[in-house]
Amino acid sequence: MSKSLDTSTTETEQTVTEVIDTVVATTPDVRRAIADHRGQSNSVNPTGDDQLAADLRADELFEQRLLGIDGVATYASEERADVKTTDGRLHVAMDPLDGSSNLEPNSGMGTIFGVYSEQPPTVGTNLLAAGFVIYGPITSMVVARKGSVREHILEDGDKRVVDDDVTVPEDPTVFGFGGGVDSWTDEFQSYAEEVRHELKLRYGGAMVADINQVLTYGGIFSYPALESRPEGKLRVQFEGQPMAYILESAGGRSSDGDQSLLEVEPDELHERTPLYLGNDDLIDRLEATVD
């Protein structure tokens, strides 16, 4: 194998590590931004969601620091219309502050990121690593990389592993469905009616925290296709693909109703998708219901 290929692989792995460590090092500043920037910004993001000042501050922090990494070529974010570019090889896509509407009631929020070999918009099979941070009672981070999933506790910008083999429990316990009963399709309503008699409701309005429940206890999280909005709410590039990469690396499954979210090829950077993530048999039943 030629030296350049070896070097590129080593360089690629080093850059992925630098991205993860930069996200970790930025989390204390994001926690401060959550506390100090609680107001509205009187602006909306490219998909029309209201932006809080904390959304913009978190986006600014991550963009500055991640584009400062030699091997990072582009930064894309749910909060900005276009991809920022510089010299480099790898591409980062982020939801800098997921669940920011939970800021006012001080409920769970987080950061979602994916590291890609190709510039977004791109297919999820180009992911090299993905992770999410939860700014909860403690700051934690889950990272999927090279087929394994690890959970970390973050303190003062450093991380320590608390679980080096996160896997979705085989017996599901929880479910969380967004969108609201009256806006679901008949097919999803019938699926939800079955599931709610089998599992416990865990829905908190921030997918990072709700999906961490599924990773911890087994079950399913969904923001489904809606009667009024067949494409659903959540974004392929910034939420669907990174979270699908994590769930599938942990032995679970993802779907847009037909296929793995990692197979979805977005035409637009801010494209939305129906999103279903969880235990394989629950996803099997879901796909059989909504196909």
Note whether 158 and 169 are within 8 A (CB).
no
Token digits of residue 122: 């791109």
49: contact with ligand AFP by CB under 6 A: yes
CA dist., res. 78 & res. 291, Å (int):
28
Least distance (Å) from ligand AFP to the CB of residue 210? Answer: 6
Helices (H), the chain: 3-36, 53-67, 186-196, 207-217, 241-249, 280-290
Helix (H, G, I), strand (E, B) or coil at 201: strand
Interface pattern 186-205 for ligand AFP (x via CB under 6 A)? -------------------x
- Total residues contacting ligand AFP by CB under 6 A comes to 12
* Secondary structure tally for the chain: helices H, strands E: 6, 15
Q: Give the residue with the Cβ less far from ligand AFP, 15 or 213.
A: 213
Q: Give the residue with the Cβ less far from ligand AFP, 87 or 104.
A: 104
223: contact with ligand AFP by CB under 6 A: yes
Q: Site for ligand AFP (CB under 6 A): which residue of 131, 172, 178, 252? A: 178
98: contact with ligand AFP by CB under 6 A: yes
Task: Kindly list the distances between the CA atom of residue 85 and the CA atoms of 34, 53, 69, 74, in Å, as whole numbers in the listed order.
Answer: 27, 24, 12, 4
* Region binding ligand AFP by CB under 6 A among candidate stretches 6-14, 36-44, 98-106, 251-259: 98-106
Note whether 223 and 236 are within 8 A (CB).
no
Q: Site for ligand AFP (CB under 6 A): which residue of 15, 63, 76, 99? A: 99
Q: Site for ligand AFP (CB under 6 A): which residue of 127, 130, 174, 206? A: 206
Least distance (Å) from ligand AFP to the CB of residue 234? Answer: 6
CA dist., res. 234 & res. 218, Å (int):
21
* Region binding ligand AFP by CB under 6 A among candidate stretches 12-20, 24-32, 94-102, 158-166: 94-102
Q: Site for ligand AFP (CB under 6 A): which residue of 15, 22, 27, 100? A: 100
Which residue type sits at 155? E
CA dist., res. 97 & res. 208, Å (int):
10
Decide the pairing of beta strands 139-145 and 110-116.
Answer: unpaired
Helix (H, G, I), strand (E, B) or coil at 2: coil
107: contact with ligand AFP by CB under 6 A: no
Q: Give the residue with the Cβ less far from ligand AFP, 75 or 132.
A: 132
101: contact with ligand AFP by CB under 6 A: yes
Give the binding site for ligand AFP (CB under 6 A).
Answer: 49, 98-101, 178, 205-207, 223, 233-234
